[in-house]
Each structure stands twice: as C-alpha cells, then as structure tokens.
C-alpha cells in the first residue's frame, strides 16, 4: 500500500489545531487504499500547541510531532517536515484550514494520473484584508516577471509532491528557502487544481507585515538576479540624463545670455543620484548578505528532544 505523508507547520495554532487534526484524520480515513502519516512541525510556539500535538501523537499511531527549539519560520518548518517524511508522496498544508483537506483526495487522483507535483491555485480568497489581497496579487506577478523560472501565480505551498521531487527538494542545500519557487525550479510533471481559499478557521495570521516582506524579498532575490541588472540600467539611464543636462547647460551658457543661477536643478540631480546610488548599493547588499548567510552554513532549524514523548514511548515498551 502506498503511503502519503501530510506535513503541517504550526506556529501558535492552539485555537485551531484540534479541529485541524480531527478534520485531517476524518478526510484521510475516507480515502481508501492509502496509508497516511501526519507530521506536525511545531515551529517554536509559545502557546500550548506543542502539548496538544504531543497528546495527539500519543493517541494516534500515524501522527508525529517535531518541535523546534525556537521559531525558525514557516519555510523552515515545512523543510523539517519534508526531511523526516517517509511517504511515496508528501502533501503540504497549513494548520489553519485555509487550504481544504478535502482536496487531498483530488490531488492523489492527479498524482496517480502521472503528475509529480499537484499544487492548489487560489481561485478566490475569503476573509483576507484588501491590503493582503492586493499585495499578494502584485507580489506573484512581479516575482513571475523577475524570476528566471516561471513560478505559478496565486499559488502557495498547498501541494502534493511525489517522492522523487521531495528527495530533490530535500537535497537542495540553500538556506533562504522559498519552497514554492524551488519546486518550480525542480521541474517534472506539474499541474494545478483551482480552489476557493477560505478564511482562517480561528486565530490570527502568523504572517505579520515584517515576515511577509522578508518572505517576499527572499522569493525575489533567490530566484532572480534581475534587480542587480536593474540597478545597472538605472545607472545608465541616470548618466545618460546627466549627459543631456550637461550639453543643455553648455548650450545655454554659450549661446544665450540668460542662464539661471540653477541651484534647484543641482539639488534635484544630487538628491536623485544619491537615491539611485543608495538603492543600488542596497540591492547589492541584499545579495551579499545572502552569500554571507549561505557561507555560514548553519543548520536550517534545530529540533529539541521531547521529554514527554520519550517518556510516553518508554511507558509503551514497559507495557
């Protein structure tokens, strides 16, 4: 029998986690002929997500919990789940029921048809702020324009991946992980399923603006060097413009007898050039910072040992 692993990253999801587990178990029980392994990655939650997860792991044989030593971030949590998964296919799904678990059955059907990656594309999104909708729409389009590999629009991490794709993903050593892009880069046979993304079942988004920005910048810089080229283009455009201004100034000075004292244009061009230079250095700096991070070669995440789970296991062996 084939096994499908389901990886669920959880950060302070105490309000939703019981319902999510119940829903995932009922959905997977309804799918015949497959074994399911549920892997919950507790990304350093400060609420009681961890103890709830551990209780479920003890109750159900096929539920596993991994806990990080602190909050490492969504993409790291997903990576940890992939690292330990054993299934012939792996499904990534959020803990807040925004991605409907029912779709897993449809994804498996597509997988059996021969697709290696089946990702969910959001046809609509309920219960998100206007700002989130607009920024997401804008982000996916910019990313796609800049990226050297086409990355599907309006697509999150909710997806099923065949074992061979997962193995390649796990073997990719980079530290700034933008998983949806990395999967596109890996290739193979990919297809999408449209779905309506519902509102969060309970609790608040764990992606405040700062995390969202970091995630977005990671996505763009990990998949494109076009921002560097853009700063060269800006440099050329500015120098070109400066040349024209120079010619014009010489012309005015020599051929006419009414030249301006001209500090406005001077100030504007100094400020403009200063701005362009700072932006370009900033872009360069972002890439250098990434090289620095990669070269430190630290692990992506740190898993802490679970005393509770170990104790429970010891109990079982005693029995």
Binding interface with Mg ion (CB under 5 A): 94, 96, 98
Q: Which stretch binds ligand UDP (CB under 6 A): 68-76, 138-146, 245-253, 277-285?
A: 68-76
Q: Determine, following the binding rule CB under 6 A, whether residue 50 of this chain makes contact with ligand UDP.
A: no
Q: Determine, following the binding rule CB under 6 A, whether residue 218 of this chain makes contact with ligand UDP.
A: no
Q: Which stretch binds ligand UDP (CB under 6 A): 95-103, 254-262, 275-283, 308-316?
A: 95-103
Q: 37 or 94, CB closer to Mg ion?
A: 94
Q: 50 or 116, CB closer to ligand UDP?
A: 50
Q: Determine, following the binding rule CB under 6 A, whether residue 14 of this chain makes contact with ligand UDP.
A: no
Which of 5, 13, 11 has the alpha carbon at shortest distance from 202?
A: 13
Q: Determine, following the binding rule CB under 6 A, whether residue 219 of this chain makes contact with ligand UDP.
A: no
Question: Segment 196-215, which members bind ligand UDP (CB under 6 A)?
Answer: 205-207
Q: 151 or 283, CB closer to ligand UDP?
A: 151
Q: 77 or 143, CB closer to ligand UDP?
A: 77
Q: 106 or 128, CB closer to Mg ion?
A: 128
Nearest approach in angstroms of CB 203 to Mg ion is 9
Nearest approach in angstroms of CB 215 to Mg ion is 13
- φ, ψ for residue 64, nearest 5 deg: -120, 145
Q: Determine, following the binding rule CB under 6 A, whether residue 79 of this chain makes contact with ligand UDP.
A: no
Q: 69 or 205, CB closer to ligand UDP?
A: 205
Nearest approach in angstroms of CB 192 to ligand UDP is 18
Q: Which stretch binds ligand UDP (CB under 6 A): 8-16, 107-115, 224-232, 252-260?
A: 8-16
Which of 102, 106, 117 has the alpha carbon at shortest distance from 163?
A: 117
Nearest approach in angstroms of CB 278 to ligand UDP is 30
Interface with ligand UDP (CB under 6 A), residue from 37, 43, 50, 162: 43
DSSP symbols for the chain: -EEEEEEEEESS-HHHHHHHHHHHHHHHHTSTTEEEEEEEEE-S-SSTHHHHHHHHHHH-TTEEEEEBSS---HHHHHHHHHHH--SSEEEE--TTS-S-TTHHHHHHHHHHTT-SEEEEEEEEE-S--HHHHHHHHHHHHHHHHH-SS---TTEEEEEEEEHHHHHHHHH---SS--HHHHHHHH-SSEEEEEEEE---SSS--S--HHHHHHHHHHHHHHH--HHHHHHHHHHHHHHHHHHHHHHHHHHHHHH-S-----HHHHHHHHHHHHHHHHHHHHHHHHHHHHHHHHHHT--S--BPP-HHHHHHHHHHHH-
Summarize as ranges the residues that interact with ligand UDP (CB under 6 A).
9-11, 13, 43, 71, 73-74, 77, 94-96, 98, 205-207
């Amino acid at each position: 029998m084939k096994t499908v692993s389901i990886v669920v990253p959880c950060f302070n999801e105490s309000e939703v986690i019981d319902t999510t587990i119940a829903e995932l178990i009922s959905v997977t029980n309804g799918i015949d002929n497959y074994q399911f392994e549920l892997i919950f990655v507790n990304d350093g939650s400060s609420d009681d997500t961890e103890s709830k997860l551990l209780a479920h792991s003890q109750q159900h044989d096929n539920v596993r919990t991994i806990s990080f030593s602190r909050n490492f971030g969504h993409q790291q949590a997903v990576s940890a789940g992939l690292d330990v998964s054993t299934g012939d296919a792996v499904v990534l799904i959020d803990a807040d029921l925004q991605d409907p678990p029912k779709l897993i059955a449809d994804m498996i059907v597509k997988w059996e048809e021969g697709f290696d990656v089946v990702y969910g594309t959001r046809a609509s999104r309920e219960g998100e702020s206007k700002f989130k909708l607009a920024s997401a729409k804008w982000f996916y389009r910019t990313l796609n324009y800049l990226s050297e590999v086409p990355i599907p629009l309006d697509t999150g991490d909710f997806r099923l991946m065949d074992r061979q794709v997962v193995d390649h993903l796990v073997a990719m050593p980079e530290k700034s992980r933008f998983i949806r892009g990395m999967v596109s880069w890996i290739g193979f046979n990919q297809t999408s399923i449209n779905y309506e993304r519902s509102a969060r079942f309970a609790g608040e988004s764990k992606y405040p603006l700062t995390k969202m920005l970091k995630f977005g910048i990671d996505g763009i810089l990990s998949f494109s060097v076009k921002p560097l080229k853009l700063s060269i283009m800006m440099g050329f455009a500015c120098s070109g413009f400066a040349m024209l201004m120079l010619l014009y100034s010489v012309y005015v000075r020599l051929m006419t007898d009414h030249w301006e004292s001209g500090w406005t244009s001077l100030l504007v061009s100094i400020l403009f050039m200063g701005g362009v230079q700072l932006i370009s250095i900033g872009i360069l700096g972002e890439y250098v910072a990434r090289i620095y991070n990669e070269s430190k070669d630290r692990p992506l995440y740190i898993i802490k040992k679970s005393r509770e789970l170990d104790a429970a296991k010891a109990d079982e062996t005693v029995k």
